[in-house]
Structure 1
């Protein structure tokens, strides 16, 4: 008898430097190995937004070692749930995938004060996603 498949979630935004990085980090932090997590950008930046790194550090999650990654059709095909965050039509659509579009402010160019509410909204949505996937969040 094989173990049930682990769901796979892909977070996509334009630069993969803020929203999608924070979402992936929250999901990894709260779900552990219960979910396979990816993030990518349609036009990735060179580095993760420093304000996003600082905002996540405030809640005990380290993003400092993360690098923006380019969105590939392979990453979409390998994911069960694809969550877009303002990437427009850049995300390829494949049958059988669940697509969600999270409307969130872009943290680009914002200071830590502007990024905190975005971080908190992402955390709330991640907890909702875990509930939908019937996965218990870790403390």
Structure 2
């Protein structure tokens, strides 16, 4: 019996997974929930994860209505990357050449907020929000992604 599949997997990647990719994942998850999309999976990780998310990022995102307080940085593995349909590079040590063939890459190249102040993180998070919304708007409607996988 064929399995009904209708998901697309998006990975947000940066070096420490302590700022940019966490912001992008939170925005994407919130946007997808708001529009009732159940066909998109979000993953986020870093090539060299930090111990915790930058406090200024947590604070700014909380002001914007996103709760990052319980999130922790994690490593993104080559296997996880190979399972993504789309990978958004935030400005990290990965390059397009490091990604599996067939993965759609968005190379956004945002600055690392590690030493940024609140105003700079606010501006950066707004840029990331815009890019994430554009990326999600580019996805085909949920019903157009459905297909039957042959067992």
The two structures have a TM-score, normalised by structure 2, of 0.83
Q: CA deviation at 1:88?
A: 2.7
Conserved in 1, the CA contact under 8 Å of 2:51 and 2:73? yes
Moved more, 116-125 or 94-103: 94-103
Q: Which residue of 2 aligns with 1:6?
A: 7
Conserved in 2, the CA contact under 8 Å of 1:13 and 1:86? yes
Q: CA deviation at 1:58?
A: 1.1
Q: How far apart, CA to CA, are the structure 2 residues paired with 1:43 and 1:64?
A: 20
| Corresponding residue to 2:99 among 86, 93, 100 | 93
Conserved in 2, the CA contact under 8 Å of 1:6 and 1:34? yes
In structure 1, runs of 5+ residues without a counterpart are none
Q: Which residue of 2 aligns with 1:133?
A: 139
Q: How many residues align?
A: 136
Pairwise CA RMSD: 1.8
1:13-24 → structure 2 map (5 Å cutoff): 13-24=14-25
The residue matched to 1:89 in structure 2 has which SS?
Answer: coil
Q: Per chain length, whose mean CA-contact separation is higher, i.e. which structure has more relative contact order (CA < 8 Å, sep 6+)? A: 2
Q: Which has the higher strand share?
A: 2
Q: Which residue of 1 aligns with 2:114?
A: 108
| Corresponding residue to 1:124 among 130, 133, 142 | 130
Q: Which residue of 2 aligns with 1:37?
A: 42
The residue matched to 1:108 in structure 2 has which SS?
Answer: helix
* In the alignment, structure 1 residue 54 sits paired with structure 2 residue 59: yes
Conserved in 1, the CA contact under 8 Å of 2:21 and 2:45? yes
Moved more, 45-54 or 89-98: 89-98
The two structures have a TM-score, normalised by structure 1, of 0.90
Q: 1:111 to 1:135 in 2, by over 3 A?
A: farther
Q: How far apart, CA to CA, are the structure 1 residues paired with 2:94 and 2:103?
A: 16
* In the alignment, structure 1 residue 78 sits paired with structure 2 residue 73: no
Q: How far apart, CA to CA, are the structure 2 residues paired with 1:28 and 1:18?
A: 16
